[in-house]
Amino acid sequence: MKITNSVRASILSGIRNKGINQSDLAAHLGFQKNWATRLFNGTLKTLSEENVDKICEYLGITLTKVTSSGEPVSPLALQLGKAMEENEHLAMALDHLARYTEDHHSSYTLPYIPTEDLIAFGQEMVRAAHEDPGKPGKVGRIGVVYIASILEKLSEAKRQETRRASATTTASPPASGHHLLPCIGSLSAGSALYTEPFRWEDEPKQFIRVDRSYPDDHFAVQVCGDSMEPGIPDSSLIVMKRVHPGEETEGKIYAVCEGGGMVLKRLISKSGQWYLHSTNPKYPEYQPLDDSIIQALFVDIC
């Protein structure tokens, strides 16, 4: 299995839910401690099917993969499985939608990918299910079990996309009394949803109009998830400031890069140890990974 950000996020969530650390997982699988480091920093690219099964059984999780379960599998479903392995955005979308189905979180937010891609993917899944009538689950997460949730959430994704479009603009001259702030993507505020780390070298393609001027090291990002509610609502646009390692302060809210993805959490200290804290009590606080890097400081809500 190819190790995508979605796979890392699932394993990381399982580690925390079990109350163990990365070294415990490596020891259980019979590997050296640095195996877990390689898994989460992206050096390790694939997992054998045997190790996938061991990880799932030990952590009580399900990793997205296609399995025939001894039954014939739709060729189209296999094509979708291959597409998931090659395109981590599609794999992430399917995995998050599956989690939505399982957890019934009414406030769940899709990771931002173009709506047209999600629609095309959903349509292909419908065709795959029709080719395998009466066999839900025989092709893993590609089947009729999740199609209803996918199509249900597509309309919400489109509404969010419309709201983003109304809030953002290209780099045209701002109206009188307004300023432009670069908007560089989305940021997870939920334990199951990871977003890509910020890429400072990329030129911003979108800007938002704001009422005040910010320094060049400030930018806007959209929040995905409810773990920082009520202070920072799901889907809100927030202003952040780029920071460097060693500049962090206890009690502040940061964008933290860990396990190949980004999360928005408050940094707190207990007994000399750092913890990442969510305002929403349904999300437990946890210790950051050894290779965690703080990238940006929360400043304000747009």
All domains in the chain, ordered by first residue: 5-59 (1.10.260), 76-103 (no CATH), 179-301 (2.10.109.10)
Tell me the C-alpha distance between 108 and 190, whole Å. Answer: 9
Q: What share of the chain is helix, strand, coil (3-state, %, to 5)?
A: 35, 20, 40
In whole angstroms, what is the distance from residue 2 CA to residue 65 CA? Answer: 10
- Residue 246, pLDDT > 90, answer no
SS3 (DSSP) at 15? helix
Q: Which of 14-28, 49-63, 88-102, 207-221 has the lowest mean pLDDT?
A: 88-102
pTM to 2 decimal places: 0.48
Q: pLDDT tier at 24 (50, 70, 90 boundaries)?
A: confident
Residue 111, Cβ density class (10 Å: 0-12 exposed, 13-18 middle, ≥19 buried): buried
The identity of residue 16, as a single letter, is: R
% of the chain residues with pLDDT over 90 = 9
CA-CA-CA-CA dihedral for 248, 251, 253, 256, to nearest 10: 50
Q: Residue 277 has what pLDDT?
A: 92
Query: Which residues 6+ apart lie within 8 Å of 216 measured at CB?
Result: none
Q: How many CB atoms lie within 10 A of CB 46?
A: 11
pLDDT of 201 reads 59
Token look-up 């599956």 returns 98
State the Cα–Cα distance between residues 140 and 77, nearest whole angstrom.
10
Band of the pLDDT at 135, cuts 50, 70, 90? very low
Contact criterion met (CB below 8 Å) for 139 and 128: yes
Distance CA 32, CA 55 (A): 15
